Amino acid sequence: MPWTGPRRLQLDRSRGGIARMAGKSASDVRHCGRAAESSHPPMITLKPVLLHRGSTVGLVALSAPDAAACPRRLQRSIANLKAAGLEVDQGNSTATGIDYLAGTARERAAAFNGLVANPRIGCIMSCVGGENTNAILDLIDYGLFSRSPKAVVGYSDFTALLLALYAHTGCVVFHGPAALPQFGEPCGVDTFTWRQFQKVLFSPYPAGELPFAALTTDEFLEWDVSDVRARVYVKHAGPRTFRGGIAEGVLMCANLDVWLSLHGTHHLPSMEGAIVGIEESDGSTPAAFERKLFAMYAKGMFDGVAGIVFGQLPSACTGGKRRLSDILMDVFEGIRCPIGQGFNFGHTDPQLTLPLGVHARLDCTEPQARLSLLEGAVERRACD
């Protein structure tokens, strides 16, 4: 059954909401750590079954029809997933749809619900992003998903579904690689991306401190036209501290446009006490990035968060005369929680796999910011 009414869930208060600044307690920090004072009962967190060699990945196109428009890239994605030891169900990946959509909202929602209902599917992976995943959120069968949770993975516009699934079911979902962008590369999926995917989704144990890639890229080669070579990678200094301190809380991560589009809806989970991850779209500009951050601030969306982490921003978003540090200084002047920037997630490669709903720690006490996953994101099967 599709969604029939709001079900407001709270973050697990027993595990999150700790924020510490140098020389200050959590109660002294404005806008930080207030979730620990909440009287709401803890939320029961569901976890999907871990993946293994031979698990079946179901592909789904919830917004743009790029998979159907780029058949060579799609087939290369499937081949690379199989080369990694996974089976593949193509789902609705070849749906041509209408213009910028891979089908009507009902068709796209039915494709996702069908993969959830399929007992062979262990992981549901986004083909690619787009701009219209939010249209299907009222049509998702959250009851079915809570009874049969699966690993759901993707980023960009697909994070609208990730936030909604977590809000309605409390199930851990994953901000991570998508089929065409990451697995469709001519040289195969990046080794860093694959190892981090395995570390989080193939093991029930905490991943611990997350590494960073010393070389990254956001070079665009037009799919099925010029994507016949490896993209050019450049040196990456790693995640950096913008505002110091240590925070612990439930990790949540989504695209900046998605955070804003879901504000005021029943599909957005509480951000109070969370470590909030933000990635920006590849077509953005410094002006648009600043406008959207100020919009989140004005809506009170940062009130009560334990910490904030930014993914690597697209080159077009950081190439202006106004520095990123200037933008962040203006937006977050009144917010004193720890803030780190430049983590390997978003419209960049390689990518981390970040589980939404697990307990994490953000350490910004040194110039190099560090993010750690303090609990496992998946569970063993009964027969394991």
Whether the Cβ atoms of residue 112 and residue 62 lie closer than 8 Å to each other:
yes
pLDDT over threshold 50, residue 193: yes
List CB contacts of 273: < 8 A, sequence separation 6 or more: 11, 13, 16, 17, 33, 34, 35, 36, 38, 249, 250, 304, 305, 306
The pair of structure tokens assigned to 17 is 């909401």
Write down the pLDDT at residue 10.
36
H-type alpha helices, the chain: 66-69, 71-83, 105-117, 142-147, 159-169, 179-183, 191-201, 256-262, 286-298, 315-318, 324-331
The model's pTM is 0.89
User: Which residues are tagged catalytic?
Assistant: 156, 279, 347
Per residue in 338-372, pLDDT tens?
Answer: 999 999 999 999 999 999 999 999 999 999 999 99
CA distance 269 to 10: 7
Determine if the peptide bond prior to 181 is cis (ω within 30°).
no
Spell out the domains of the chain, with CATH numbers in brackets. Answer: 56-206 (3.40.50.10740), 231-373 (3.50.30.60)
Write down the pLDDT at residue 106.
96
CA distance 131 to 124: 19
Beta-ladder partners of 250: 274, 359
Write down the pLDDT at residue 50.
98
Q: Binning pLDDT at 50, 70 and 90, where does residue 98 land?
A: confident
pLDDT over threshold 90, residue 6: no
Residues in the chain: 384
Per residue in 24-56, pLDDT tens?
Answer: 433 343 334 333 333 333 456 899 999 999 999
pLDDT over threshold 50, residue 7: no
Write down the pLDDT at residue 43.
57
DSSP string, 138-200: GGS-HHHHHHS--EEEE-GGGHHHHHHHHHHH-B-EEE---HHHHHT-TT-S-HHHHHHHHHH
